[in-house]
Amino acid sequence: MSPPIVSALLKLGKVQRSDHLFDIGCGDGRVLITAAQSTGCKATGIEVDARVAELARRNVSARQLDGQISVREGDARSTDISDATVVTLYLSERGNKALQPLLTPKLLQDPETRVLSFLFEMPGWTPVQMELEHASQIPMFLFDGRSLPPNIRQEYEQRKAQRLQQEEQQAKDDKDKAQGA
């Protein structure tokens, strides 16, 4: 992504200092660097190509941003993104789909997490906003918890309610047992 496109994407996601942005497939680190420099946010890149990940680390160090940005080498599908408040993607529709098992639980738990995808849609999800980058007229998509298919959200809410009920029952049983003892 070119710098104006990165800036437009950050604007679409209202990225700010308090955010922790994860760029999945961070390439040479340009999104991380622009985000950290322009907003002051913390940023983490995940890059499957070891040589490219090393290049991103060098680019980050050259700008003395090591305290603000970290780069993980590996496949994003098996990484922990629980700290993310914003996720940026510039992959492909297939690449986006492959990330759904990682992103869906994250959005169910933290529905306010913003997922920003440049150019490619997320199959089966409904964007909450779509904008065309001004100069290139290329689409950028914003997703969050509301984007998930309704059946997935319903199932999650049902399981959450069941778990809560079980926990309440367990707490009641424990209390009754303690009082009886």
- Of 10-18, 71-79, 107-115, 151-159: span binding ligand SAM (CB under 6 A): 71-79
Among 54, 75, 155, 157, binds ligand SAM (CB under 6 A): 75
The C-alpha R_g of the chain, in whole angstroms, comes to: 20
Task: Tell me which residue has tokens 């933290």.
Answer: 110
Q: Are 46 and 23 in contact (CB under 8 A)?
A: yes
For the stretch 129-154, what's the b/e string if a residue is b when 16 or more beta carbons lie within 10 angstroms of its beta carbon? eeeebeeeeeebbbbbbebbeeeebe
Quote the least distance from Cβ 2 to ligand SAM, whole Å: 8
Considering only residues 90 to 149 of the shown chain, the ones binding ligand SAM according to CB under 6 A are 90-91, 95
Quote the least distance from Cβ 75 to ligand SAM, whole Å: 5
Among 12, 36, 76, 115, binds ligand SAM (CB under 6 A): 76
Quote the least distance from Cβ 152 to ligand SAM, whole Å: 21
> CA-to-CA distance for 170 and 95, rounded, in angstroms?
42
Decide: is 58 part of the binding site for ligand SAM (CB under 6 A): no
